[in-house]
Chains A and B, each alone.
Chain A
Amino acid sequence: MLLIQSNAIADALNSSEWVFPIAECFHIAAFAWSIGLIALVDFRLIGIGMKRESASEIARATAPWTLLGLAVVLLSGPVLFLSDTRMYLGNPSFRFKMYALLIAIIFNYTIHRKVALSNSSPAGVQVLVGVVSLLLWVSVVFGGLFIAFA
């Protein structure tokens, strides 16, 4: 039943050759947008760049825009996925990316957020959180790219 449904959705999505490229453009622009903004906070936590602002100021200023970017990513992603569910589910890079994405989002809105917003965390913790966050998002991007090469 699920397969039949997903095939119907895939047919609808594949009926126009423009749906996938346009969804992909939104997906890429929005991930660049959101991950770029998260990276700004990460680099500040590590101690690189934007020294005049505190990490919490950067985190606060970017948070609504990051959320908007992530929303577009999470809306356009399923469109891409539904165009060929079987291929994606069987693709090891895709599965790796989904796990990395899940961990990255949870990390971003729990530990990362807490440490970035409190300016009183020890320097070591700030650096660690910044590095882990960068590594998680780098894994997501690499996983996404390797879907096409797996």
Chain B
Amino acid sequence: MLLSFAQWIQATGFFTALRGSAYAYPIVLSMHMLGIAFFGGMVLMTDLRLLGFAMREHSISDVLDQFRVPKRWGLLLVVTCGILMAGSKAEEYYYNTFFRAKLILLAAVVLHELVFYRGVYADPAALDQAPGTPGTVKTAAALSLLLWASIACCGRGIGYIEPPLDKIHARVHSLKEATLAALCGPSVQKGQELRCCSFNPMR
């Protein structure tokens, strides 16, 4: 079901045009990178502050509160560009191990947010009052750094894998032919156009 969704989305006019354009794709990728720099830079400074390595002369609430809104804009840019790229090569990415790993790590980020939001990020003023930075806060910051760094590396990894779509399509085709032949007998000719796999992705 996921696979057919991936095939459908990348076959839409918008994503077909995006994939075919010589400039749109690299420009979206560059914007994705800039978003990573902007968003990542703020994640880094926030986490370093929580760990007590940077901006120590500024209170935790000062740093967290001021980064909150710009960080959301940065994330919005990164995610928008990411969806544009993923949509235009959805079927290929479906098979891409690094892409799958990246999605799992992004789910882990959501989990991280659910676990730590209340205690760490929601009320930074309380952290200023605490005598030392609590262990939970440092754990949250360290995990955040680790997660985002892994996501960046997986993102880079996506580009190194090119799943052999032609071979996969041929294999699916021959499997369907074999099944049909077994079911309907020799009346189905080999190589006959089958409606069920008439999908032909533009590469």
Residues on A lying within 8 angstroms of B by beta carbon are: 21, 24-25, 28-29, 31-33, 35-37, 39-40, 43, 48-53, 57, 61-62, 65, 137-138, 141-142, 144-146, 148-149
Bound-state CA distance A32–B153 (Å) is 12
Asked if B157 is an interface residue, CB under 8 A from chain A, the answer is yes
Bound state CA distance, A142 and B22, in angstroms? Answer: 14
Q: What are 22 A-B pairs at a CB distance below 8 A?
A: A21-B157, A25-B152, A25-B153, A28-B152, A31-B37, A32-B33, A33-B40, A33-B41, A36-B39, A36-B42, A36-B44, A39-B37, A39-B38, A39-B41, A40-B41, A49-B66, A61-B45, A137-B37, A138-B34, A141-B30, A144-B33, A149-B26
Which residue of A has the minimal Cβ distance to B41? A36
Choose from B25, B40, B45, B57 the contact partner of A32 (Cβ within 8 Å).
B40
Closest to B40 in A: A32
- B residues with a Cβ closer than 8 A to A are 22, 25-27, 29-30, 33-34, 36-42, 44-45, 48, 54-55, 57-58, 62, 66-67, 69-70, 149, 152-153, 156-157, 160
Closest-CB distance, A18 to chain B (whole angstroms): 10
Residues of B within 8 A of A61 (CB): 45, 54-55, 57-58
Are the CB atoms of B70 and A43 closer together than 8 Å? yes
Given contacts A49-B70, A145-B29, contact A32 B36 (CB under 8 A): yes
In this complex, the member of A32, A33, A53, A148 whose beta carbon has the largest number of chain B beta carbons within 10 angstroms is A32
Known contacts A21-B160, A39-B38, A52-B62: A29-B152 contact under CB 8 Å = yes
Determine how close the nearest CB of chain A comes to the CB of B39; give it in whole angstroms: 7
Closest A-chain residue to B69, C-beta based?
A: A49
The answer on a CB contact under 8 Å between A65 and B62 is no
Seed contacts A62-B45, A65-B48, A65-B54; 4 additional CB < 8 Å A-B pairs? A49-B69, A53-B58, A61-B55, A141-B34
Pairwise interchain contact A33-B26, C-beta atoms closer than 8 A: no
Instruction: Choose among B30, B54, B156 the residue that contacts A142 (Cβ–Cβ < 8 A).
Output: B30
Contact partners of A21 in chain B: CB under 8 A: 156-157, 160
Flag if B70 contacts A29 (CB, 8 Å).
no
* Set of chain A residues within 8 Å of B39, measured between Cβ atoms: 36
Which residues of chain B have C-beta atoms less than 8 A from A37's C-beta? Answer: 41, 44-45
Q: Chain B contacts of A65 at CB under 8 A?
A: 44-45, 48, 54
Residues of A within 8 A of B26 (CB): 145-146, 148-149
* Minimum CB–CB distance for A59 against chain B, Å: 12
Q: Are B54 and A29 in contact (CB under 8 A)?
A: no
User: A35 vs B48: C-alpha distance in the bound complex, in angstroms?
Assistant: 16
Top 7 nearest A-B pairs (CB, nearest first) are A36-B41, A32-B40, A35-B37, A36-B37, A32-B37, A145-B30, A149-B26
Q: Determine the residue in chain A with the shortest Cβ distance to B28.
A: A145
User: Chain B's nearest CB lies how many Å from the CB of A83?
Assistant: 14
Give Cα distance in the complex from A105 to B149, angstroms.
25
Assembly CA distance A138 to B152 (angstroms): 19
